[in-house]
Amino acid sequence: MRCVKKNKCIFLDRDGTINKYKGLISKPEDIELINGAAEAIRIINESEYLCIVVSNQPGVAKNLCSLDTAWEINERLKDLLIKRDAYLDDIFICPHHPEKGFPDENVEFKIKCNCRKPETGMIEQAALKYNIDLSESFLIGDTSIDVKTGSNCKMKTVLVETGLGGMDEKYKVVPDYRMKDIYEAVKFILKE
């Protein structure tokens, strides 16, 4: 029986980790890369790790943008990276939000799901699709939600000081590592 080697992945949060944090992004033109983000992703591309984004996008449920627009925003992110010779292996988003009562909310997406971080659905989908060994993988993000997600998936976690820098305080969690930004985090991971 042939043994298939599992892949390793550096999972990335999007807003505040790769692109500048501007609250809920509702238009493609709002995407602006953090300094060093494209370089960091290019370094991942040159390594043995996959590079996959996992991002909560509650703006869809709150009707700040459509699901199609959410994907256009991600296409803009990919285009900005490609212009700097970097690419993402995939992007997984959760358009849901469990809390109801927002003006003009999109009720189709106002559900409790298993994909909204810190739930593990997006990462489980990626692990299945790409044969990823989560115990050999990392999650880099700017919130306690990201740290909790990585912990829930038995991955090593890196909290970056960009974006919210862990100040969301939604969960009492401690990251495995704390770094200035995505560039510093990737350089550190790939030295390990």
The whole-angstrom separation of Cα 6 and Cα 4 is 6
Is 96 marked as a binding-site residue? yes
- The verdict on whether 13 is a catalytic residue reads yes
Cβ–Cβ < 8 Å for 135, 11: no
Rounded (10°) angle between helices 37-45 and 67-82: 80
Is 97 marked as a binding-site residue? no
The whole-angstrom separation of Cα 104 and Cα 94 is 19
The whole-angstrom separation of Cα 13 and Cα 82 is 18
The whole-angstrom separation of Cα 20 and Cα 37 is 10
Tokens of 127: 């692990």
Is 13 marked as a binding-site residue? yes
Is 15 marked as a binding-site residue? yes
Residue that is written with structure tokens 């997600």 in the block? 149
- The verdict on whether 104 is a catalytic residue reads no
Is 115 marked as a binding-site residue? yes
Determine which one of 15, 89, 146, 181 is catalytic: 15
Enzyme catalytic residues: 13, 15
Binding-site annotation, residues for Zn(2+): 94, 96, 113, 115
- Binding site for Mg(2+), by residue number, is 13, 15, 142
Annotated binding site: 13, 15, 94, 96, 113, 115, 142
